[in-house]
Amino acid sequence: MSDPALTEGADSARPRAAAAAAAESTTHFRRSIGLAPAIAINMIQICGVGPFLTIPTIVAVMNGPLAVIGWILGAVLAMADGLVWAELGAAMPGAGGTYLYLREAFQYRTGKLMPFLFVWTAMLSIPLIMSTGIIGFVQYLGFFLPGLTALQSHVIGLVVVAFVVFALYRRIESIRALSAGLWIVMVLAVGLTTAAAYSDYHLVLAMTLPAQSGDMGKFFTGLGAGLIIAIYDYAGYNTTAYMGDELKNPGRVMPRSIIISIIAMMVFYLAMNIGVIGTVPWQDVAKSTSVASLVVSRNWGHAAASIVTALILVAAFASVFAGLLGGSRVPFYAARDGVFLSAFGKLHPKHDFPHVALLAMGLVTAAGTFFDLTTVINMLVAVSVLLQSVAQIAALTVLRKRQPRLARPYRQWLYPLPSVIALVGWLYVLYATDRQSQVLSSAWLAIGLVAFLFWARVQRQWPFGPKDIREVFVERQDASSR
């Protein structure tokens, strides 16, 4: 469920009076993360509570057993896009991910426009991801509190968001312990749900296709909606790209962590999905709001289902906590580096954390809980595709031409084929989102463009001033070779 940007800002940073270049050079991390923990970090961010929320949706839109195709194609798109991340991240291993790649690639023609717009979209997409966690929390809480009205559900959602923001309203140095705990909880929840499903498995249920399954028009319509859900569930395979400064030998560890984590999660997702629809008729799965509780309750009883549901509630809350903690640092670091609105670069005067960004993202998270899960996922996918996924594909090509001297420990296999596959896949996903999401995401980008022009005018940046072109990683590479 989680977005890769969420781990980028685990540690607070004090404001620097120096310019952006000096600020960047003062940020260093200890390279302590090897391949195995890097894979685990990616898998934690991929899994989250996503599959527990979305299995009913993907089963509904793809008519039961055909949901398997959505999971597989989602993995193909994630792998193609992951190879884009792998080359960019291995060549520019810094704490920033997309922000760094867009800054380096597009500074020659459009100054700081692209990284500004990326952070602008992150201000919406990251909190919306957190909204899905809150929605999932309330859905699974219904197992213990059946009969919740819509108003009661909204109130509970707002209370949970407020509690998370309150808990974060202090300086928190690291989320490593929280991530480790979340990993254990998620492995238990996934493992117990899958084991329960296969303890009373019926192949005939998993193979029962609907009468209209041969209608190719309906299939491709469902595939588009299913692919949106699947790619949402795979999100997080690029988490280590945001932790490049902390990886041992990032040129080797980063590509492998991305590739292995995608393959591993595809296996987990397929096992759980096939198990669920082989235990409960897919029509019942499609109507469920807490599918894991349903499966475990049917095969192992109410007590076991209560334990699994409690694990999922803990995981949902922890993922939102960790997500807002890291996500609030994204606009803070961009503002500190002189690439975003300066208000977001302020720290709390007493507790020394980016309180403006935290409060802003908390408000968006709260607003997102008033929409249904599918609407929120469509919106966050639509707002993310152009300024992250498609922009990064372009950035890879631009940087190969603009910075040929940049060391690339990993070069994309079969270039440019994976980039082309990823581009086609992302544009198809964008096309498949609903019209409302497309319009709202376009409006958000248009407002962001106006905000950039206002900011650039005040800061005397391009197009109202000279471009500040610095090939940071090439310069760093040259300095280390002297």
Region 81-100: what's the mean pLDDT? Answer: 90
| SS3 label, residue 357 | helix
Mean model confidence pLDDT for the chain: 87
Domain ranges of the chain: 4-477
Tell me the pLDDT tens digit for each residue of 321-375: 878 887 888 898 888 888 999 999 888 888 888 899 999 999 999 999 999 999 9
Asked if 43 contacts 197 with a C-beta cutoff of 8 angstroms, the reply is no
Q: How far does CA 405 lie from the centroid of its chain?
A: 31
**Per mean pLDDT, which of 200-209, 345-354, 412-421 is the most reliable?**
412-421
- The C-alpha atoms of residue 5 and residue 376 are separated, in whole angstroms, by 18
Instruction: Band the pLDDT of 379: cuts 50, 70, 90.
Output: very high
Report the share of the chain in percent with pLDDT over 70. 91
What's at 315, amino acid-wise? A
Mean pLDDT of 375-379: 93
Any idea which architecture 4-477 has in CATH? Up-down Bundle (1.20)
Burial class (CB in 10 A: 0-12, 13-18, 19+), 18: exposed
SS3 state at 344: helix
* pLDDT confidence of residue 97: 85
Residue whose structure tokens are 């040259």: 478
Q: Note whether 97 and 5 are within 8 A (CB).
A: yes
pLDDT for res 2:
46
Give me the pLDDT at residue 185, please. 85
Number of H helices, E strands in the chain: 21, 0
Q: What is the pLDDT of residue 173?
A: 60
Reply yes or no on whether the pLDDT at 13 is more than 70: no
Burial level of 137, CB count in 10 A (0-12/13-18/19+)?
buried
> What is the structure's pLDDT at 7?
38
* 9-17 mean pLDDT: 33
Q: Are 223 and 62 in contact (CB under 8 A)?
A: yes
> Do residues 122 and 5 make contact, with C-beta atoms less than 8 angstroms apart?
yes
What are the tens digits of pLDDT across the range 426-469?
A: 999 999 999 999 999 999 999 999 999 999 999 999 999 999 89
- The whole-angstrom separation of Cα 311 and Cα 182 is 10
Q: How far apart are the first and last CA of the chain?
A: 43
In the predicted structure, residue 25 carries a pLDDT above the cut 70 = no
Tell me the torsion sign for CA atoms 380, 128, 148, 192.
positive
What kind and span of H or E run contains 65? none
